[in-house]
Amino acid sequence: MRGPTHRPARRLGCALFAALGLAHAAHAGDDAPGLCVPPLPAYKTECAACPALSAWLASNARTGKKVREEPPEDRITRSAWFTHKHDEVPAAAWKRPAVKGASNCAACHAQADREDGHRFHWPTGLAECLRHDL
């Protein structure tokens, strides 16, 4: 069910994706493993006009088979990768006020907007609810 706070995940524009990607590359150094989630083919097409971004994507984006296909409705939250990584999250957890939905990455992953989604924290009240079997 979609409430008034629901905002669908949208594809990043080339300029924003470039800013995120190049900022990640700048602070990660040469030993960076690349993006955690590679860009969709649509991103690559859209960003092909930007030589710096295209070069960065070619050298840093992962190409694993499991993410070569665009997710349903072009939403990462419906991709096989996302559902696998979040399969332990009960459906009711996505509806909590502190979470507001699967597209709100920053609710649980601090600094997700800076390509550092590995820093995890439980939103207010969610950990207690999970302990009581949401």
Based on the domain organization, do 42 and 92 belong to the same domain?
A: no
> Is 110's pLDDT higher than 60?
yes
Query: Is there a domain that residue 4 lies in?
Result: no
Query: Is there a domain that residue 133 lies in?
Result: yes
pLDDT bracket for residue 8 (50, 70, 90): very low
Q: What pLDDT, in 10s, does the model give residues 83-95?
A: 888 888 888 888 8
Based on the domain organization, do 64 and 93 belong to the same domain?
A: no
Strand partners, 109: 120
Query: Is there a domain that residue 82 lies in?
Result: no
Q: Please give the share of the chain, as a percent, with pLDDT higher than 70.
A: 27
User: What does each C-alpha distance from 71 to 5, 24, 29, 36, 103 come to in angstroms?
Assistant: 23, 24, 30, 16, 14
Based on the domain organization, do 94 and 123 belong to the same domain?
A: yes
Identify the domain containing residue 112 by its residue range: 88-134
Nearest to 74 by CA among 34, 115, 46: 46
- Where b means 16+ CB within 10 Å and e means fewer, 40-51 reads beebbebbeeee
pLDDT bracket for residue 28 (50, 70, 90): very low
Query: Is there a domain that residue 81 lies in?
Result: no
Based on the domain organization, do 106 and 63 belong to the same domain?
A: no
Does the predicted TM-score (pTM) go above 0.75? no
Query: Is there a domain that residue 83 lies in?
Result: no
Tell me the C-alpha distance between 36 and 39, whole Å: 10
Sequence-ordered alpha helix ranges (H) in the chain: 14-28, 41-47, 51-60, 80-85, 91-94, 126-131
Based on the domain organization, do 62 and 100 belong to the same domain?
A: no
Nearest to 56 by CA among 87, 28, 34: 34
How large is the greatest C-alpha to C-alpha distance in the chain, in angstroms?
A: 51
Based on the domain organization, do 104 and 66 belong to the same domain?
A: no
The angle at the Cα of 94, spanning 38 to 16, to the nearest 5 degrees, equals 35
Q: How many domains does the chain have?
A: 2
Q: What pLDDT, in 10s, does the model give residues 55-77?
A: 655 665 555 545 556 666 767 78
Query: Is there a domain that residue 77 lies in?
Result: no
